[in-house]
């Protein structure tokens, strides 16, 4: 099982997102996702968050909120615990990312982009200001087949 972080920096009703177009072997190829990556040994979720955002964007976060834990189960990839964050303040200059193209995207337009179906659920929860949540998302290939919020199955 792998552990990752994913962050959605927010400014002027836009999320900073990554269009994953640069790596050939990429489970997220051609998808739009937040900023993040895999934990290194001995890292906390916050350690991983700060390191990954700095590596992928050049920005140093100064204010962030831990929003939830998302468990991804797949018939193709190993199970993943993703620690989900939003960020509201940072310093530094944005740099190019070697994993894709960074872009500020209007929050209202995100669902029209090629994103994972389950991402729509946690993006809505964040937009609604939901308290810390646990979300389980099960996929067969790229098809979302099951979702549970705080242990309760959700209608798809």
DSSP codes of every residue in 7-50: EEEEETTEEEEEE--S-SS-TTTT-EE-EEEEPPTT--HHHHHH
Q: According to the model, what pLDDT value does residue 26 have?
A: 64
CATH of the domain at 77: 3.90.79.10
pLDDT by position in tens, the chain (length 156): 999 999 999 999 999 999 987 666 667 778 899 999 999 999 999 999 999 999 999 999 999 999 999 999 999 999 999 999 999 999 999 999 988 999 999 999 999 999 999 999 999 999 999 999 999 999 999 999 999 999 999 998
Predicted TM-score (pTM) above 0.85: yes
The domain of 61 spans 2-153
Separation of alpha carbons 59 and 54, rounded Å: 5
Angstrom CA distances, 110 to 35, 41, 122, 127, 132, stand at: 14, 32, 12, 12, 21
């Amino acid at each position: 099982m792998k552990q990752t972080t994913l962050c959605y920096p927010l400014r002027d009703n836009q999320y900073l997102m990554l269009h994953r177009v640069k790596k050939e072997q990429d489970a997220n190829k051609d998808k739009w996702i937040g900023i993040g990556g895999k934990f290194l040994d001995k890292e906390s979720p916050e350690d991983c968050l700060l390191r990954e955002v700095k590596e992928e964007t050049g920005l140093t976060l100064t204010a962030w909120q831990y929003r939830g834990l998302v468990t991804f189960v797949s018939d193709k990839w190993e199970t993943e615990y993703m620690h989900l964050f939003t960020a509201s303040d940072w310093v530094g200059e944005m740099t190019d990312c070697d994993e894709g193209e960074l872009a500020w995207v209007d929050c209202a337009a995100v669902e029209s982009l090629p994103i994972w179906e389950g991402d729509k659920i946690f993006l809505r929860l964040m937009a609604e200001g939901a308290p810390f949540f646990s979300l389980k998302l099960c996929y067969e290939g790229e098809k979302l087949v099951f979702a549970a919020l705080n242990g309760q199955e959700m209608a798809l």
